[in-house]
Amino acid sequence: MDKAEAGKRIEVLRQQLEEYGYHYYVLDKPIVSDAEYDKQMQELISLEAEYPEFISDDSPSVRVGGEPLPFFEKVEHRTPMLSLGNAFSEQDLRDFDRRVRQAVGDEVAYTCELKIDGLAVSLLYEEGKLVRGATRGDGTIGEDITANLKTIPAIPLRLKEDVTLEVRGEAFMPKRSFDQLNLAKEQAGEEKFANPRNAAAGSLRQLDPKIAAKRNLSIFVYAIGSIEGKEIHSHYEGINYLRTLGFKINEESKHCESIDEVIGYTTEWLEKRGELSYDIDGIVIKVDSLSQQKELGFTAKSPRWAIAYKFPAEEVVTILEDIELSVGRTGVITPTALLKPVQVAGTTVKRASLHNEDFIREKDVKLGDSVVIKKAGDIIPEVVNVLTELRDGSEREFTMPTHCPACESELVRLEGEVALRCINPQCPAQIREGLIHFVSRNAMNIDGLGEKVISQLFEHQLVRNVADIYKLEREALLKLERMGEKSVDNLLEAIEKTKQNSLERLLFGLGIRFVGAKAAKTLAIEFGTIERIQQATEEELIAVNEIGEKMASSIVRYFSTPEVSELLEELKQLGVNLTYKGAAPIAGVTESLFLDKTVVLTGKLHQLTRDEAKEKIEALGGKVTGSVSKKTDLVIAGEDAGSKLKKAEQLNILVWDEEQLLEVLHS
C-alpha cells in the first residue's frame, strides 16, 4: 500500500468507525460486531502510526487515549454554568410554577429531564469540530479535560453540520460499567469506588487519558449554552436539534404543558428510577420558551427558569459510637457523630452532622444510641432522630466540653447564638481552617493547594498565616511527602498567579465574619482598595447597599486590630494586589439619569447584550433588577418584550426602547 492508498484507506476507516460508534453508543443499535469494530480500529491505529502525516485530532483513534498530561489548564466558559435551585416537595414545585407565572404570565410550558448523577461538562465545537471539553468548575472557570472527554464514544468528534456552538452535558458511568470496574478493583486488592458518580468524576480527572478510555463512560447532552448562526426558540426544540447533530440525548425527557404534568412525571420516575441502566438523583424542570427564560433571568447563583426536584433522601438506621468535636475557622465547635459504617444512597457513611449542643439536647442523643440518618439533599449525612425505644441501658450521656479541644482556651456562647465558640485568635485549628478557606475556589482559588497540602504545610510549620503562603520556597516544599519537582513548580506558579487576583477574592479569603463572596464584591466595587475599606466607619459601611449593621460592625472590628494591619502590609510587600480590578461605577457620576434608579431590562436588544447594558447602567449609578414592581423607575423594552412590559404599563412606569437607551448612554 502506497501513501495515497493509505490516505484513502484511513479516511474510509474513520468514516466507518464513526458511523459504527454512532449507532452503538448514541442510538444503542449496533450494526457490526464488537470484533469487527476492534479489527478496524486496530487497522486504523496501525496505518496512522505508519503514516503520521494523516494523523488527525478528530480521528476515532483518539478515543483509546493519548499521552498523559502534566496538569489541567483552567478555561473560561463562554456562558456561565450556574447551579440550580432545589425543590424537595410538590409544594416547592407549585411555588416555583407560581413565581414563573407571576413573572411571564400563565402561558408556560416546561421541559422535564432526568437528573443524571454524573459530572457536568461543557463541549465547544467550532465549525462542527470538537475543540474543547471542560468541567463545570465554579460555573465560570472550569478545567480543560478535552483529552479525557474524547475517549467517551458517545461524544461526537465531528458534528453532522459545520456549526459553532457550546453544549452542556452530564458525563456518567453506567451501572454495568461501574460493577465491572469495582469487580476489577476488588480482584486487584484496591479500594472500590463508592458510587458511579464518584467513579465517573475520578475517571475524567485522571491526567492519563488512557485510564478514562478504559472506564466505559457515556454522556447525555441536555442544553445549548451558545450557538452561532441559528435561531432556537425553545429548550425542547434545542434538544431535538442536538439529536440531529449526532449527540446522545436522554429519550426520557418530556414536554409538559402544566405543573400538574410535571408533578406526574416526577412521581412516575421516583417509582421507576431503579429500572434505569444509570443513576439519577432527581428531575430537572425548565421553562421551555427561551424568550421566557431570558425574561425570568438569573439570581446570583442560579437561573429563575429552572429548578431541580430532588428525590426524598434514603433513611437508614445505625449505631452512634462516639461524638467528635471540630473547630471551624470562626471558632465554632461542631459536634460530629461517628457511626458504625452503613450504606446510604450508594456511599458508605461513617460520620454525620449533629449541628450543635442544642440539637444534641433536643434529640436526647447518647453514645451507643440507634439513630436514623439520611443525606440532606443526597449530599451531607445528618442524624434525623434517635430510636429511644431500642435502648438497653448501655448508652452513655455526652457532655459538651468547657474548653477548646484544639488550644484548651475556655469556650463561650455569644449572646443570641446556639454555638459554643473558641475566641482565641491563636487557636491552631482556627488558623488551619482559615488557611483552607483562603485558598478555596471562591476565595484566592490557588490550584493544587487543597486541604491535605495546607494541613501538611501547617504541621511542618511552613505556614502560620495567609502571607506565609506567598513566602513558600521550592527547597522546603520538595522535602514534603508526595511533592515532586513538577508538582512543586506548578504549585509555586499557581500561588504567584493569584497575586493578581481582584480585591474581592482576597477580601472573601480573609474570612471576615458575616462577609460572604457577594458582600466582598460589593465592598470591593464601592471602596476600590483595601486601604479605603480599612478606614471606613460603620456609618459609611451601612450606607452601602446590602451591608447591614452586624456586617459593618464586624468589618470595623476586624480591620481595627494591629495584627490585621500588619498582615495587609505584609501582603502588600509580597506583591499581592489589594485593589478592585473589575468593572466599577464611573467615578464622579452625579447627574446620570440612572443614578439611584431601579431599572428592568426585558425583550431582545440588538446593539448591546443584556450583560453589557446592565454593566453600563450600573456604572452610571443605576440598579438593574429582574422583575417589575412599584419600586421600578424605568423599564427598557427590546424586541418581543412580554409580561414585564405589560406590567410596567399597568403600573404607569416609564418605558424606553433600545434607541433611547443608547442615546442616553452615548450622551
Helical packing angle, 90-104 and 259-272, nearest 10°: 150
- DSSP of 382-429: EEEEE-GGG--S--B-----SB-TTT-PBEE--TT--S-EE--TT-HH
Nearest to 145 by CA among 119, 177, 178, 117: 119
Q: What pLDDT is attached to residue 338? A: 95
Q: Could you give the CA distance from residue 395 to residue 320 in angstroms, rounded to a whole number? A: 10
Q: Is 328 helix (H, G, I), strand (E, B) or coil?
A: coil
Q: What pLDDT is attached to residue 257? A: 94
> Each residue of 623-654: pLDDT tens digit?
888 778 888 899 999 887 877 888 888 888 88
Q: What pLDDT is attached to residue 585? A: 54
Catalytic residue, from 39, 115, 497, 604: name it: 115
φ/ψ bin of 420: left (φ > 0), alpha (ψ from -120 to 50), beta (otherwise): beta
**What value, to the nearest 5°, has the Cα angle with vertex 548 and ends 633 and 562?**
135
Nearest to 135 by CA among 219, 65, 77, 222: 77
Do strands 333-344 and 315-327 pair parallel, antiparallel, or not at all (unpaired)? antiparallel
Q: What pLDDT is attached to residue 591? A: 60
Q: What pLDDT is attached to residue 379? A: 62
Q: What pLDDT is attached to residue 21? A: 76
Q: What pLDDT is attached to residue 65? A: 66
In this structure, how many other beta carbons lie within 10 angstroms of the beta carbon of residue 640? Answer: 12
Contact (Cβ atoms closer than 8 angstroms) between residue 578 and residue 531: yes
Q: Could you give the CA distance from residue 148 to residue 403 in angstroms, rounded to a whole number? A: 50
Three-class SS string for 181-245?
HHHHHHHCCCCCCCCHHHHHHHHHCCCCHHHHHCCCCEEEEEEEEEECCCCCCEHHHHHHHHHHH
* Residues with Cβ within 8 Å of residue 26, at least 6 apart in sequence: 154, 156, 246, 247, 248
Query: Catalytic annotation on 518?
Result: no
Q: Is 517 helix (H, G, I), strand (E, B) or coil?
A: helix
In single-letter form, the type of residue at position 168 comes to R
List domains and CATH numbers for the chain: 3-64 (1.10.287.610), 85-310 (3.30.470.30), 315-391+402-412 (2.40.50.140), 428-500 (1.10.150.20), 503-573 (1.10.150.20), 598-666 (3.40.50.10190)
Q: What pLDDT is attached to residue 435? A: 95
Instruction: Look up residue 158 and give its DSSP letter.
Output: B
Regions of the chain with pLDDT less than 50 = 378
Q: What pLDDT is attached to residue 545? A: 76
Q: What pLDDT is attached to residue 582? A: 72
In this structure, how many other beta carbons lie within 10 angstroms of the beta carbon of residue 295? Answer: 27
